[in-house]
Amino acid sequence: MTPSYEGIFVVIEQLQRNPITQVIPKVAITAIDSHRMQSIALTNGFNDYLVKPITRSDFLMTVSQCIDLREVVHC
């Protein structure tokens, strides 16, 4: 992993540790279309990984699915 990516994973880790912020959907939006980077992001706390260009509806659908999944898990 390159040093430029380390900071975002530190932030995600901190969000995951806090009970208040751990429920916030974390979606990586990037121009990097790489299965390796997608795997790294999902393994390190992101809920989804979207590759640019994305549409508003794609983003809203992804966040909605994250919220729906969160509600199912907490039931």
CATH number for the domain spanning 39: value is 3.40.50.2300
**Number of domain units in the chain:** 1
H/E segment holding residue 30: strand 27-30
Which structural domain range is residue 16 located in?
Answer: 3-73
11-64 confidence digits (pLDDT tens): 999 999 999 998 899 999 999 999 999 999 999 999 999 999 999 999 999 999
Mean of the pLDDT values across residues 67-73? Answer: 73
The whole-number pLDDT of residue 64 equals 92
- Does pTM top 0.75 for this prediction? yes
Closest CA to 13 of 45, 59, 43: 45
**Could you give the angle at the alpha carbon of 12 between the alpha carbons of 2 and 36, nearest 5°?**
45
Band the pLDDT of 5: cuts 50, 70, 90: low
Distance from C-alpha of 33 to C-alpha of 13, rounded to nearest angstrom: 23
The whole-number pLDDT of residue 72 equals 63
